[in-house]
């Protein structure tokens, strides 16, 4: 899993981008390419796919690439159109589009207008906002003020909904998902009321309607 985009209110966008840049520097130093902790893209095909997603974008942070090293810098994109290619597929790379909204209601509409996500992350100190997002969106799982961590909890079911997947696993949930619950009904042979069989007389109909 990896976050595909961030929705932020317009009044907090600049602050968010600033803090994202600060986190990149704290994690990987002034030059992430030189950091021993920063990974590379797994193969050439995925590197080329990510380069294509960056084409025509406006990086607020990063954007540098190196094909020989399969290096893609930690990249934050601003002014991203919801119809842009980078918004049309799962990214699975160090690219994070940031889109602005007026308020949480617009953010909820944005999420609900798209396929149901495998994971949704809501960041807010307001319990009312947290609850509104939980109640009005549908996703495979949710983290509040965190990302990805719900996958690490073995007692929480992990799975999707709709196009993001069906069923869930982890712990007992996984056992139930990959097990077939066979229904078995037993009845005695001595009791077989004629009420259940034709002919359906008026008396039978009245009795059936009375008890059913």
Q: What is the largest CA-CA distance in the chain?
A: 88
Range name among 7-11, 32-36, 112-116, 201-205 with the lowest pLDDT average: 201-205
Q: Which residues contact 194 (CB under 8 A, 6 or more apart)?
A: none
Whether the per-residue pLDDT at 212 is higher than 80: the answer is no
Mean pLDDT of 162-171: 87
Share of the chain above pLDDT 90, in %: 74
Question: pLDDT of 19-71, one tens digit each?
Answer: 999 999 999 999 999 999 999 999 999 999 999 999 888 899 999 999 999 99
Q: Provide the pLDDT for residue 35.
A: 97
Of residues 107 and 172, more confidently modeled: 107
pLDDT category at 122 given cuts 50, 70, 90 is very high
pLDDT category at 1 given cuts 50, 70, 90 is confident
Q: Provide the pLDDT for residue 67.
A: 97
Tokens, residue 150: 């719900």
pLDDT category at 110 given cuts 50, 70, 90 is very high
Cα 69 to Cα 13, 29, 66, 84: the distances in Å are 32, 18, 6, 26
Q: Provide the pLDDT for residue 161.
A: 92
Task: Give 141's strand partners.
Answer: 119
Burial 195-204 (b: 16+ CB within 10 A, else e): eeeeeeeeee
Domains and CATH numbers, the chain: 6-154 (3.40.309.10)
Cα 182 to Cα 35, 66, 176, 179, 185: the distances in Å are 54, 55, 12, 9, 10
57 with 84: CB under 8 angstroms?
yes
């Amino acid at each position: 899993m990896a976050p595909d985009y961030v929705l932020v209110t317009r009044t907090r966008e600049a602050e968010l981008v600033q803090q994202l840049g600060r986190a990149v520097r704290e994690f990987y130093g002034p030059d992430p390419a030189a950091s021993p902790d920063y990974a590379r893209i797994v193969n050439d095909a995925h590197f080329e796919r990510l380069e294509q997603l960056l084409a025509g974008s406006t990086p607020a942070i990063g954007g540098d690439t190196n094909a020989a090293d399969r290096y893609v810098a930690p990249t934050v994109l601003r002014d991203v159109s919801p119809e842009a290619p980078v918004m049309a597929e799962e990214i699975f790379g160090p690219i994070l589009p940031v889109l602005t909204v007026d308020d949480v209601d617009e953010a909820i509409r944005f999420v609900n207008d798209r396929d149901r996500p495998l994971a949704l992350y809501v960041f807010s100190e307001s319990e009312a906002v947290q609850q509104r997002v939980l109640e009005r969106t549908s996703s495979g799982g949710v983290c509040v003020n965190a990302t990805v961590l719900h996958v690490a909890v073995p007692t929480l079911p992990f799975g999707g909904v709709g196009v993001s997947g069906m069923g869930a696993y982890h712990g007992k949930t996984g056992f139930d998902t990959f097990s077939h619950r066979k229904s078995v009904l037993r009845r005695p042979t001595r009791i077989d009321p004629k009420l259940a069989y034709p002919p359906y007389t008026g008396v039978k109909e009245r009795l059936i309607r009375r008890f059913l």
